[in-house]
Amino acid sequence: MDQDGVEEDMPSVTAKATKKTGENFVRIALSTDGVVPIHQSEGAGKGAWVGVAIEAPEGYEQGTFQYHFGTEASAEATQSAAITEDSSIGQGKYAVFFLNASSTAPKTHITVKWEGQEAVQYVVDLSGVQTPAVKLTGVTVSTHEMPSGVSSTAEGLSSDGSTALVQNGGTGALTHTQVASMGGGGEYTVYYTVPQAIPGGTLQFDKIARSVNGGKWNAWAMPSTTEANAGSGWWTRDGENYYFKWGTVFAEEAEGSYRLKDGGVFDYTLCFIDTDGSQDNIIATYTFQIDLSGYTITADE
């Protein structure tokens, strides 16, 4: 379902609900037959909003229901809202929720409790919802050298010499002392070159975020308007590209020794975000892998 007052043409949204044996929640998979545009939601900011309508039991006479709606699951439904009656949805009474499919952290966990009924948990799968996010091409990454043509400066982008002991796809032996000296300990640096030109215009953003090996998003408030000499060692730009660096832990210390984290293989999702203050929307993405599995860590001689 769509929100009232949306001027852009909205694609059709299909929902499929399933419950697997042994699971304590109902999975609702949403899909669209086209791109959901970024549009304004009354009171909730801009986003690629799609709706879920959960029908009340037949004969339900109450005008409200209890619910939970958030980024994490809850068995409790502690908030109250009015039911929705809308012939464009159906002839029944509904609990309606809107989700931003362009968010890095959409609210996908819903718990609904109708008066006199047990609470039911739902998890919404947004992977089938098409959003306007651009899949970037022409991005280059390096773990051991600065971007081509960029000089290391303290004001713009600087080189991290201590982390240059490893490179993507490389092999070799590192001592514990060497690993401990890399960044804050067991860290490598990824240098990025990101073209500014994208289909239909120029890549402009308010934040950069990344997820490594499916982990939580880590956001960085580094807008594309940041001047070339205002990066404090982390960022610069020219007329064609954005350049920046970001450190990641590849080896963890335990009982006085370092071991490779996640087998030394790191799958990245990088995204660029536009924000209106209330909603963060992904406008472009890039995925890549850093493979350091060819390195071994040995005791100091």
The confidence score (pLDDT) of residue 2 equals 47
The confidence score (pLDDT) of residue 10 equals 87
The confidence score (pLDDT) of residue 8 equals 59
The confidence score (pLDDT) of residue 41 equals 81
Do residues 19 and 26 touch, judged by C-beta distance below 8 A? yes
The confidence score (pLDDT) of residue 17 equals 95
Give start and end residues of each alpha helix (H) in the chain. Answer: 176-180
296 burial level (CB within 10 Å; 0-12, 13-18, 19+): exposed
The model's pTM is 0.88
Measured distance CA(47)–CA(37) in Å, rounded:
8
In this structure, which amino acid lies at residue 141?
V
In this structure, which amino acid lies at residue 149?
G
Written as tens digits, the pLDDT of the chain (301 aa) is 445 445 557 899 999 999 999 889 999 999 999 999 999 887 788 999 999 999 999 999 999 999 999 999 999 999 999 999 999 899 999 999 999 999 999 999 999 999 999 999 999 999 999 999 999 999 999 999 999 999 999 999 999 988 999 999 999 999 999 999 999 899 999 999 999 999 989 999 999 999 999 999 999 999 999 999 999 999 999 999 999 999 999 999 988 889 999 999 999 999 999 998 889 999 999 999 999 999 999 988 7
The confidence score (pLDDT) of residue 261 equals 95
Task: Read off φ and ψ for residue 99, nearest 5 degrees.
Answer: -125, 140
Going by their DSSP bridges, the two strands 25-35 and 120-130 should be labelled as: parallel
Task: Name the nearest CA neighbour of 282 among 130, 141, 139, 138.
Answer: 130
The confidence score (pLDDT) of residue 144 equals 92
Can you read off the two tokens belonging to residue 236?
């610069």
Measured distance CA(184)–CA(180) in Å, rounded:
7
